[in-house]
Structure 1
Amino acid sequence: MDVEILARIQFAFTIAFHYIYPPLSIGIGLILVILEGLYLKTGNKDYEILTRFWIKIFAVTFGIGVATGIIMEFEFGTNWAVYSRYVGDIFGSALAAEGLFAFGLESTFLGILLFGWNRVKPWAHFVSTLGVFLGSMFSAVWIVVANSWQQTPAGYHIVGEGLHARAEVTDFWAMVFNPSSVDRIIHTWQGAILAGAFLVLSVHAYYIRKGRFIEISKKAFKIALVVATLVSLMQLVSGHSSADGVAVNQPAKLATMEGHFEKDKPADLYLFGWVDKEKQKVTGIGIPGGLSFLVHQDFNAPIKGLNNFPVEDRPSQINAVFQFYHIMIAIGLTLILISLYASFLWWRGKLFETKWLMWVFSFSVILPQIANQVGWFTAEMGRQPWVVYGHLRTSEAFSQEVSANQIVFSLIMFTVVYSLLLVLFLYAVDKKIKHGPYDESTNPITFKSF
């Protein structure tokens, strides 16, 4: 393999592994705010027990997320030197804002969140929980802003030429509110909240199935179910808005996502299928003119196809982008269906009597994680061959001095270290889940310190 492909594989591996944890931190953070808010409002000790329990899982998740995120920043300099020079002014602004407005907020309140029980007033601890949650949300904002600028650049001008060219910020707020940033921030937040909510649903469905912590788990399950139902429905709106933005700003990506090749013809909306790149054909089941209708509310409206663009300006992995995109959509619809069905059973008073549904929720935690991963794969692979859309090609962005052997060695090293971290994470979380929210042999409101 050449250096470009290896550098892309390494970065894809490290960011995919890292992206397991920040969404969980955001989602669990929201659940913590709700649980602790209910405790302050009602004084019900069950909510205090649940808050303390999920803070422990949040801490493990947050810690590994921070550790794995640092690695990626070094990769920009080692493997993507030309890219780093080109976007340094843009990314520097966004990452500086993240440090000031996100990490600053999180670090201020994290110690109180983890160790402040019985040391500060309840309202002060709640403020710390809210601060850490908001910090994680703001952190996502600035990362997505930086990435969205690569997708839809705005508020900049180019200084220099060739390998020494770089983008400079001319309008900070135009850079922040570039054409795709708001849609992508909202969609990313929602995916993160679903990851956390379904983890809570999974754990407490497991307890209910096993006959452990039943009453307290019913409370937690209902809270997480409300969050999951509302947010999964909201994702339909943000997903549609994001797709509309792609149609305007990145039409080649949209054509790739639906395997649409023909020039300025109505485009079908596929439920599933397989793209034959050579024959320029999709084999599958779809709605004729469905994509045209979603974009223009007209089944006969033309959509730019891949043949509208030179071959060198199209994504090369068309079928992969198509599959990733449709997996994301399928999972999103599945989450809506199971959430709505569970809500219906709750209304009927039969939610916790439906054993098979508790079994489904026990394993549902994996679905938002897969959807988040394939959603990012769709966005990043669909942008190719550009690392900065329309300006800097991926083939021109990697470090010229790094050899293939060096990348292979570091990739093997990262694989080993990250595998150990994953095992450690699963072991630590599994241990806390098996122990449960409180010691079953003692009074439920007797806690060990964090």
Structure 2
Amino acid sequence: MDVEILARIQFAFTIAFHYIYPPLSIGLGLCMVIMEGAYLKTKLKLYEDMTKFFTKIFALIFGIGVATGIVMEFEFGTNWATYSKYVGDVFGSALAAEGIFAFALESGFLGVLLFGWKRVSPVVHFISTVMVTLGSMFSAIWIVVANSWQQTPAGYHVVGEGLEARAEITDFWAMVFNPSSVERIMHVWLGAFLAGSFLVISIASYYLLKKKHIEFAQKAFGVGLVVALVSAYAQLFSGHKAADVVAEYQPAKLAAMEGHFDSSAAADMYLFGWVDKEKEKTNGIAIPGGLSFLTHGDFKAPVTGLKAFKPEDRPQSLNIVFQSYHIMIAIGMFLIALTTFGAYMWWKKKLFDKRWLLLIFTWSVLLPQIANQVGWFTAETGRQPWVVYGLLRTSEALSQAVTAEQVWFSLILFTFVYTVLFALFVFLLNRKIQHGPAYAGQEEDEIHSPRLEEMAENFGRERAEPL
């Protein structure tokens, strides 16, 4: 493999692994705010226990997320030096804003969230939970703003030529509110809410299947289901708005997403299929004129196809774009159906009697994660061959000094380290779930360990004996 492909694979692997955790922390944070808010309103200790339990899981997710995110910043310099020089002014502003307005807020209140239960008032602790959640959401804003600028650049001018060319900001707010940033931020937030809420639902469903912590699980399930139901429906509208932006500013990406080749003809909307790149056609089941209707409100309206672009300006991995996009859509529609049916069964008071449904909800935790991943694959692979759309090609963004052997070595090393980290994450998460929540009046498990209590008594007795 050449250096470009290897560097892209390495960055895709590292960012995909990292992206498991930020959506979980954002979505779980929102659920924790609701749980602790319910405790302040009702004074029901079970909601406090619930918040404490999920705070431990949040801390684990946050720690792994921070550790895995640092690597990507080094990759910008090692593998993508030309790209870093080109976007440095833009990214520097966005990432500085993330550090000042988001990460500082999140990490500053995290200590109060984790260790302040008996040190601050319930209201102050609730505020810290809100601030940590807002910090994680603000962090997503600046990362998505930086990435959206690559998709739809605005508020800049280019200085220099060739390898010395770089984009400089001329209007900070135009850069922030570039044509795709707002819609993409909402789409990312809602995907994160689904990831976090389904984690809560999955854990609650597992307890109900095991007939453990019944009241705790039922109330936690309710919180997660409300967040998931609202987010699933909101994601449908958010995704449509995001697709409208793609249609206007990145028509080649839209054509790849739906496998549409004709230069200017009505476009079908495929439910599933396969893109034949060589024959320039897509085989599958489609709604005739469906894409035209969604884009223009007219089943016969022409949509720009891939043939309108030079071969070198089209996304090369057409099936990756097409399949990723359709997997995301399929999962989104399934989550709408699942949460709607779950809410109906909840209303009928039959939900917790259906073991098969609880089993589906237990494993459904994987679906928002898969949807988030393939959504990013669609956005990033569909942008190719541009790393900054219309301005800088991916092939021109590579570091000039890096070799294929160096990228191979680091990719193998990252794979090993990330595999160990993921195994550790799963092990610790499972241990926390198996241990379950600590209820009101019950301290941390170490404090009530009979062996530790016996050791403490013996230690006190020995200290009391004269020398």
Quick one: distance in 2 between partners of 1:444 and 1:55? 15
Quick one: distance in 1 between partners of 2:246 and 2:368? 22
Report the Cα offset of residue 355 of structure 1: 1.3
1:129 aligned onto 2:129: yes
1:414 aligned onto 2:438: no
Q: Does the CA contact (< 8 Å) of 1:45 and 1:445 recur in 2?
A: no
- Tell me which residue corresponds to 2:442: 446
- Tell me which residue corresponds to 2:456: none
Quick one: distance in 2 between partners of 1:264 and 1:180? 24
Report the Cα offset of residue 196 of structure 1: 0.3
Please tell me the root mean square deviation across aligned C-alpha atoms, in Å. Answer: 0.9
**1:370-409 mapped onto 2 (5 Å cutoff):** 370-409=370-409
Quick one: distance in 2 between partners of 1:422 and 1:108? 26
- Tell me which residue corresponds to 1:159: 159
Task: Report the AA paired with residue 13 of structure 1.
Answer: F
Task: Report the AA paired with residue 62 of structure 1.
Answer: F
Report the Cα offset of residue 378 of structure 1: 0.2
Secondary structure class of the residue paired with 2:361: helix
1:106 aligned onto 2:102: no
Task: Report the AA paired with residue 331 of structure 2.
Answer: I
Deviation string, structure 1 residues 115-151 (Cα, Å, up to 9, x no partner): 1110111111111100100000000000000000000
Uncovered stretches (5+) of structure 1, i.e. residues with no partner? none
Quick one: distance in 2 between partners of 1:33 and 1:229? 17
Uncovered stretches (5+) of structure 2, i.e. residues with no partner? 447-467
Deviation string, structure 1 residues 217-239 (Cα, Å, up to 9, x no partner): 10010111011000000001100
**1:197-208 mapped onto 2 (5 Å cutoff):** 197-208=197-208
Deviation string, structure 1 residues 89-118 (Cα, Å, up to 9, x no partner): 000000000000001101210100011110
Distance 1:184 1:376, change over 3 A: same
- Tell me which residue corresponds to 1:180: 180
Report the Cα offset of residue 447 of structure 1: 2.4
Deviation string, structure 1 residues 246-302 (Cα, Å, up to 9, x no partner): 000000000000000001100000000011011111111010000000000100000
Quick one: distance in 2 between partners of 1:119 and 1:381? 49
Q: Does the CA contact (< 8 Å) of 2:256 and 2:382 recur in 1?
A: yes
- Tell me which residue corresponds to 2:13: 13
Task: Report the AA paired with residue 151 of structure 1.
Answer: Q
| TM-score where L is the length of structure 1 | 0.98
Deviation string, structure 1 residues 369-413 (Cα, Å, up to 9, x no partner): 000000000000000000000000000001010010001000111
Secondary structure class of the residue paired with 1:272: strand
| TM-score where L is the length of structure 2 | 0.95
**1:31-430 mapped onto 2 (5 Å cutoff):** 31-430=31-430
Quick one: distance in 1 between partners of 2:19 and 2:441? 34
Task: Report the AA paired with residue 254 of structure 2.
Answer: L
Secondary structure class of the residue paired with 1:283: strand
Quick one: distance in 1 between partners of 2:283 and 2:443? 58
Report the Cα offset of residue 434 of structure 1: 0.3
- Tell me which residue corresponds to 1:2: 2
User: Which of the pair has more CA radius of gyration?
Assistant: 2
Q: Does the CA contact (< 8 Å) of 2:267 and 2:303 recur in 1?
A: yes
Quick one: distance in 2 between partners of 1:252 and 1:29? 37
- Following TM superposition, the consecutive aligned residue runs of length 4 or more in structure 1 with deviations greater than 6 angstroms are none
Quick one: distance in 2 between partners of 1:202 and 1:282? 37
Distance 1:280 1:445, change over 3 A: farther
Report the Cα offset of residue 444 of structure 1: 5.2
Secondary structure class of the residue paired with 1:270: strand
State the aligned residue count. 446
Secondary structure class of the residue paired with 2:179: coil
Secondary structure class of the residue paired with 1:343: helix
Report the Cα offset of residue 449 of structure 1: 7.7
Q: Does the CA contact (< 8 Å) of 1:29 and 1:129 recur in 2?
A: yes
Deviation string, structure 1 residues 63-95 (Cα, Å, up to 9, x no partner): 000010000001000000000000000000000
Secondary structure class of the residue paired with 1:274: strand
Q: Does the CA contact (< 8 Å) of 1:35 and 1:50 recur in 2?
A: yes
Q: Does the CA contact (< 8 Å) of 1:89 and 1:168 recur in 2?
A: yes
Quick one: distance in 2 between partners of 1:200 and 1:54? 8
Quick one: distance in 1 between partners of 2:372 and 2:310? 30
Deviation string, structure 1 residues 23-48 (Cα, Å, up to 9, x no partner): 00001100010000111111101001
Quick one: distance in 1 between partners of 2:181 and 2:70? 23
Q: Does the CA contact (< 8 Å) of 2:45 and 2:440 recur in 1?
A: no
Quick one: distance in 2 between partners of 1:156 and 1:282? 38
Distance 1:127 1:444, change over 3 A: closer
Quick one: distance in 2 between partners of 1:110 and 1:207? 28
Quick one: distance in 1 between partners of 2:126 and 2:226? 21
Quick one: distance in 1 between partners of 2:420 and 2:319? 32
Report the Cα offset of residue 347 of structure 1: 1.2
Report the Cα offset of residue 445 of structure 1: 3.8
Once the two structures are overlaid, the 10-residue window that deviates more, 50-59 or 104-113, is 104-113
Percent identity over the alignment? Answer: 67
Secondary structure class of the residue paired with 1:265: strand
